[in-house]
Amino acid sequence: MPLEIILAAVGGFAIGVALIFLAQRLVIGRRIRSAQREAEVMLADAQTKYKEMLLEAKEEAIKVKSQEEAEVRERRAELHRHERRISQREENLDKKLEAMEQRERGLIAKEKEAEGLRAHLQDLKQKQIQQLELISRISSAEAKELLIKAVEDEIREDVSRRIREIEAQLKQEADERAREIISQAIQRCATDVVSESTVSVVPLPSDEMKGRLIGREGRNIRALENATGVDLIIDDTPEAVTISGFDPVRREIARLALEKLIRDGRIHPARIEEMVATARSEVEATIQTEGEQAAHEAGVPGLQPELIKLLGRLKYRFSYGQNVLRHSIEVAHLAGMIASDLGARVELAKKAGLLHDLGKAMDFQVEGPHAKIGADLVKQWDKSAEVASAVAEHHGEADSTSVLGFIISAADAISGGRPGARRESLEHYLKRLEALESLANSFPGVEKSYAIQAGREIRIMVKPAEIDDLEALRLTRDIVKRIEETLEYPGQIKVTVIRETRAVDYAK
């Protein structure tokens, strides 16, 4: 019994398994058939879409092709239009070229005709000139030269006569007044002869000091030159050294520092810097004091501190041996006297006279003439346009000259030109006299010239057969102009032309 039951159970399980397998096979088959149908549907859809896309691509290709063909047609049409325009331009250019060639042929023909007329006129002119030469018995060149010479002589004579009349009239009116004003100013301003020197030489107790000043490998002399900005010249001169530098203030600082070092005896770079600083302080104090004293002595109060300091620096500046600070004070006095006689403003004249050479305190650091530099400084610190203008004009470098400028120029010339005011070396003095005589001898008609009065006057002997009275007047003016343009000299030079007239006859 149990076996049958087991067999029945096993048989039932096998049947169940078989039924389940058959059922799964049916389900799987059904799913496969369903998937096949879906795949067939999807394939049909894909084929449909492919056909549609292929149709759309063909349509798009046809559309693009038609657009490209349209663009090609338009470009061809545009090219045809350009070709037609180029052809038209070529035709126009050919027509213009032909017209220009015709015009050129016409111009060539007219030019030939004009040449023929010109040659004909030249022949007629030449025949007329020949007839005139036959009638007058002189050539055309000689007639032209005679006419030009006659006109030149007439004009020169008229101009010389007119100049002499004007000069005589002006001299008659101005000489007495100018002589009176200048003589009074010179008499009232009595100053000493300048005797100061521009050479900075420091004496040494012995030649051994030169080696100590130079120092080991030159360190002492380099330290002194670097600290002062000057050159220390140690040569074979016994017991002396020379200080060389363009800036006189630096040269004075170096001189004081060197004297202090020699007295102290301790010479090394640190001591040199200390002594240079002390000397610089002393020189700056001296500059301030000298500037204040100069302003007080000249009677010019109220100057700016900067101008006072620049004015004091002129104590160490010399021009032809003349101390520039003393010269400025002297010019201030002279300008005040002249302004008083002329009715000008005395206080402005004194201030301009005192400051007229202020640019010489800065001309080592600033490029340009000292008159312009001084005028710029006055404009910057004093704010006086009249004084600045007079300072700029006192050497005649400005475009125009005011009354105050003439006063300062005259006072400057008096101060620099008076006897003993300035000195120069013998070599320079002799060269100046030789240049003055050579310049006068270079003019035609001059027989001999003599420079006298230390070069302040030149007397010129002329050949009376070549130079008449009017020519002598013109020659004087030409020589004066040449001297002013080419020579450098202090003060003024008087030019005198002497023409000797001799009448010779014989008693028979």
Average pLDDT over residues 114-122: 85
User: What are the residue boundaries of the structural domains of the chain, listed by start?
Assistant: 200-417, 426-499
- Beta bridge partners, 452, equal 457
- Please name the helix (run of DSSP H) or strand (run of DSSP E) that holds residue 318, with its range, or none: strand 318-319
**Most confident range, picked from 24-33, 177-186, 324-333, 396-405:** 324-333
* Residue 218 Rama label (left phi>0; alpha psi -120 to 50; beta): left
Residue with tokens 């038609």, as numbered in its chain: 66
Strand 457-462 with 494-499, pairing: parallel
Task: List phi, psi (to 5°) of 494.
Answer: -90, 130
Q: Give the pLDDT score at 442.
A: 92
Q: Give the pLDDT score at 119.
A: 86
CATH of domain 200-417: 1.10.3210.10
| pLDDT (tens digit per residue) in 407-438 | 888 888 877 765 555 555 556 667 788 888 99
From residue 460, how far is each of 244, 292, 379, 449, 498 by CA, in Å? Answer: 42, 49, 45, 4, 6
Strand 231-233 with 200-203, pairing: unpaired
Q: How far apart are CA 415 and CA 407, in angstroms?
A: 12
DSSP string covering 440-504, please?
HHTSTTEEEEEEEGGGTEEEEEE-TTT--HHHHHHHHHHHHHHHHHH---SS--EEEEEE-----
Please report which confidence band the pLDDT of residue 401 belongs to, taking 50, 70 and 90 as the band edges.
Answer: low
The pTM (predicted TM-score) of the whole model is 0.48
Within 127-246, strands assigned E span 200-203, 231-233, 240-244
| pLDDT (tens digit per residue) in 451-502 | 887 778 899 999 888 888 888 888 999 999 999 888 877 667 889 999 887 6
For domain 426-499, is the CATH number 3.30.300.20?
Answer: yes
Q: How far apart are CA 455 and CA 419, in angstroms?
A: 12
Q: How far apart are CA 269 and CA 227, in angstroms?
A: 10
Average pLDDT over residues 309-337: 82
Q: Which of 287, 284, 330, 282 is nearest to 312 (CA)?
A: 287
Q: Give the pLDDT score at 460.
A: 92
Strand 322-323 with 446-452, pairing: unpaired
pLDDT at residue 352 is higher than 70: yes
